[in-house]
Chain A
């Protein structure tokens, strides 16, 4: 199934041609799902690219009695067979100052050749322009660490990465490092005790995450959703921060006689209502009439006010929560959720300022329906779009019109904007975690390497405080027309809370999603489905607590 999913995703992402896809899929035969899973479990799936394989040399096999000096495992997951002694690579590592990024080079470990397997696929990191930088940094690490090689296991998406990690863990040979992984990927596994606590390594090397990294990264890096606000655990080293913002088409604003939106975050005048007002004036039918105007023809829209504005941002702006850890209740039936979720659906189905996927695809000529809305933005058929810094290389590559960036507007109750964080994490049951730590330290805490990985490869805001200027300089160089302050300020007003851990992390969404989807499609009202979603969601949460306890 993983092979199949991999193939499907690879095809979807254009990494396989149709011919290659057909050849490989046909090779799987009619009932290869079980065989695929079996091969995965045996760790024999050659997921790395040829280049990565050659750079890595051989497949790693770390000794079963690998040392784990100074790395106390999380209580739930302490591997019974793990030895607690032995000389390690980390023991020879030079100690760095608390606030200064460490030097990449450390003394080479003694003993035979080692390798660190890095699973890439829980977030970005597999794009053609990202891979060379990762491999360059891996080579640099190997050069500095003698015989420690780096092998990348590349899988196409989060689902495939999840399968890969689960099956290799069951087979007893998980990759040591997951890099990069969105907070989502971390939280899928955090209550399964998968991640190593990195605090002993940080302590040993005299590193303080509060001094090193942007404050916005810390709640997620510490797994506060699961371990609580006073978490003393560090489950991931930040590697990339992605702020969200609105992109707007200056030409269309000018044509509609509208002033540019504010560039100041949390401006009290920049609200959802103001956004709707602008969006209506920018949504035009074939007769040139705008949305909200008498005689507006909603069936023949030629230009939309917005390409995308995520519903989850909007209901949070209304003050709603999906799950409240204090009361252990889901919030689908709260007035805030109902109003916010309904408003998000109304933007599409009542006000007609955001297209459906289908309408956008038809208007923009997108060949993939799911890309339609942002294709409408990039082809100038939608005047605004909620974007992420991660979108800059793709949906920010606009050539045909002038555009700039504005903050996400305030909701009725609060200003909420996404902040997506990617981290690097170490699998607790993996062997040779010390070498894995050395790699994380080299790639994510060394200032020169981190700026390469975070901005040049991932087009993200570097989480290292000392690298902020690199992002500013990079945006000025690559996107000279954009107001870079809007992007950097997105850190102050954005939050990683949308990806916070909650019980039954995937199951909750997969249970309630189908109940809420009719609202998204405009076929039901939020108020009508809220009670059912609440009951179903609460049952999932209650079931989780019936069998699990939160760490104290």
Chain B
């Protein structure tokens, strides 16, 4: 006790100092997040990693046994539905992310122009992004109804035949991609911030040198917003690979598994088939796929992302 007293005293002195108090306050302020992270993210991640090597039975965990790599082996080599779910998810992610990048950027260009009421339009385009996915899904279920939905009504007004939308294996993914654009305001906002940070003198100088609007867009604006494109690409891809709500509410994976998204299949294994071990393995495979794609994008960024203050390369 006597040996620890000087040490405790030193700690007490440090805490009484202004830097010590500041540090303590900092730790206290971040502790809710750290505790939450440990309990609700890191802890479950470790548990799910362990579960992925087991045949964890949700309703009678006492019967759980270790199965080694069997869950991973099954997913990667034996399960045709896994391959279908992966194919659907990757196809959708590529299409939805591309659509989001292009349309988000074009909208941002429009909203970057100064005109009366532009703030209103910026708010208007962003507002859908804050609406719950379930509400959006329900709304699009109505929009895509082949008989009385808004989409076919508009097509018919234009003299075009109606489409089966989410009720057709061929059209279900394009329909969901269209639906995903409902949230395009999120990426638009990021593009807009990026566009507004471009120094106007660059564009003005180019104009004086005779560059047309398209040239200025392609040679000045676009390179300078590549950090925003990079950001939206990474976040968009991570987000789309985890698509669940749309499939769960709108299509239930159908028709013919044409919209069986990876996370829906994972959910079914966990909570419908009670195969939590297999579901955990699926989750880790998805994590590794996402990680690999993200790293790939990061590595490629050195070739196409341009930071004004650092020169080329990310």
Contacts and interface: CB of A to CB of B under 8 A. Distances in A.
A binds B: yes
Interface in A462-519: 504, 506-507, 510-511, 514-515, 517-518
Contacts of A276: none
Contacts, number: 88
B272 A28 contact: no
Contacts of A193: 59-60
A523 B2 CA distance: 87
Contact of B134 (A4, A76, A506, A514): A4
Interface in B130-145: 130-135, 138, 145
A510 B252 CA distance: 10
Please classify the interface of chain A as helix (H, G, I), strand (E, B), loop, or mixed, using the class held by over half of its residues: helix
B103 interface: no
B257 interface: yes
B273 interface: yes
Interface residues of B, number: 36
A358 interface: yes
Interface stretch (A163-171, A202-210, A409-417): A163-171
A33 interface: yes
A32 interface: yes
B55 interface: yes
Interface residues of A, number: 44
B53 interface: no
B257 A1 contact: no
Contacts of A399: none
A510 B249 contact: no
Interface stretch (A96-104, A278-286, A339-347, A361-369): A361-369
B59 A166 contact: yes
B62 interface: yes
B256 A1 contact: no
B20 interface: no
Given A367-B148, A514-B257, A7 B59 contact: no
A121 B74 CA distance: 34
Q: Which of A25, A504, A517 has the most CB of B within 10 A?
A: A25
A22 B139 CA distance: 10
B268 interface: yes
B213 interface: no
Contacts of B243: none
A550 interface: no
Given A506-B272, A507-B273, A517-B254, A33 B62 contact: no
A26 B132 CA distance: 6
A8 B273 contact: no
A307 B59 CA distance: 41
B125 interface: no
Contacts of A506: 272-273
Given A80-B62, A358-B146, A511 B130 contact: no
B62 to A, nearest CB: 7
A33 B245 contact: yes
B15 to A, nearest CB: 36
B274 interface: yes
Given A30-B130, A193-B59, A514 B248 contact: no
B248 A511 contact: no
A33 B266 CA distance: 14
A547 interface: yes
A26 B59 contact: no
B255 interface: yes
Contact of A29 (B62, B63, B132): B132
B88 to A, nearest CB: 12
Nearest to A76: B60
B58 A170 contact: yes
Contacts of A521: 255
A194 B58 CA distance: 11
A5 interface: yes
A26 B135 contact: yes
Contacts of B63: 76
B147 interface: yes
A369 B147 contact: yes
B138 to A, nearest CB: 7
A4 B245 contact: yes
Contacts of B274: 166, 192
A44 interface: no
Contacts of B62: 80
A438 B118 CA distance: 68
A1 to B, nearest CB: 7
B139 to A, nearest CB: 10
Contacts of A29: 132
A322 B299 CA distance: 52
B271 interface: yes
Contacts of B55: 547
A216 interface: no
B135 A507 contact: no
B267 interface: yes
B58 A166 contact: yes
A77 interface: yes
Contacts of B272: 162, 506-507, 510
Given A506-B273, A514-B256, A518-B256, A192 B59 contact: yes
Interface string A192-226: 11100000000000000000000000000000000
Contacts of A517: 254-256
Contacts of A162: 271-272
B85 to A, nearest CB: 12
A189 interface: yes
A369 B59 contact: no
A508 to B, nearest CB: 10
23 contacts: A7-B134, A8-B138, A22-B135, A25-B135, A26-B131, A77-B60, A162-B271, A166-B58, A166-B59, A166-B274, A169-B59, A170-B59, A192-B58, A192-B60, A362-B147, A506-B272, A507-B272, A507-B273, A510-B253, A514-B253, A514-B256, A517-B255, A547-B55
Given A7-B134, A166-B59, A510-B253, 10 more contacts: A4-B134, A25-B135, A30-B133, A76-B63, A162-B271, A192-B59, A192-B60, A358-B146, A507-B273, A511-B81
Interface of B: 55, 57-60, 62-63, 80-81, 130-135, 138, 145-148, 244-245, 248-249, 253-257, 260, 267-268, 271-274
Interface of A: 1, 4-5, 7-8, 11, 21-22, 25-26, 28-30, 32-33, 76-77, 80, 162-163, 166, 169-170, 189, 192-194, 358, 361-362, 367, 369, 504, 506-507, 510-511, 514-515, 517-518, 521, 536, 547
Q: Which 9 residue pairs of A and B lie closest in terms of their CB atoms, listed nearest first?
A: A514-B257, A192-B59, A4-B134, A514-B256, A25-B135, A507-B273, A25-B132, A25-B134, A506-B272
